[in-house]
Structure 1
Amino acid sequence: MEKRIIDSFEDFQMLDYKVDYDNHQLFQGDVKKYGSPVRIFTNVPPHKISLPAEEGYRFCKVCNRYSSKENVHCDVCDICPSKDGRTYKHCFQCERCVKPNKEHCSVCKSCQLKDHNCGKPRQGCHICGALGHKRRNCPKTGSQSPAKRKKKWSEDGARKKMKCTKI
């Protein structure tokens, strides 16, 4: 969601502060493997917001902001790149920092998961691979778009109503 937020609020930046939950059904206890998926966005310059050292945050002089201890500064990219609480590594072929569980694939020409399938299409349906529809409309899953579901529901409702009026 970071890109969408930044596109909507150009002067906002994401802080590295990890939000903890006291009462959330999905994100509580030890469920957060790499840290919270939620970050705080603000238009206050990040160097003006100090994050607690006792929680593992440190000030990166190069980035001029606080970062978590896992978010190690990359001298090549010149940023503290981590977004999810893991220590990213630099890929010299991609010329950017990537998640530690990814490695460069010479076929795809990008960093991918180690067990990825190079033949799997990057566009279209993720389930059957067809380019004519997306996952939510895949005929192999029996799922339908919200518009089709609504249309079917209203037709079913109309049919039931007609049956009721005929009785």
Structure 2
Amino acid sequence: MSAPAEWTPQLIQDEIDALKDKPGALLPILHAIQDRVGFIPDAAVPIIAESLNLTRAEVHGVISFYHHFRTSRPGSHVVRICRAEACQAMGARALEAHAKASLEVDYHQTTRDQEITLEAVYCLGNCACGPSICVDDRVHGRVTTETFDRLVDDLRTVPLEVK
């Protein structure tokens, strides 16, 4: 996972300027900003609204409607648990409870060490192999609580430097 850029008003404006002439530009702009900085900063909302001739409420409404967008910096790693029906039928609710308890966070929160952000997703397209999670950008299927713990431990393991 590449490190996100530090956000500035100019970076936000550059993303807006690159996409504002597209039909339905708001969603592509929000995706571009989140891709660059890892989240949609609160201070970006008025910049986006003014540039697109929208109200701040309209921009905020779109950000808050879609679970994909986050308004705070994520941890070093993002773990998404699928909450779609197929995964729920295969034990995702128990996995979800285990993840929240072991990480000591709820959805859209980051662990105290700032390493892992837990998020819900409503389909990873891996329905035949539920329950599924996505760790950073890698999908894992048939995830048990033991598998979850191993994946989290792997995230927290600091690689040794090669000399």
Q: Which has the higher contact order (CA 8 A, sep 6+)?
A: 2
- Return the index of the structure with the highest Cα Rg: 1
TM-score (norm 1): 0.28
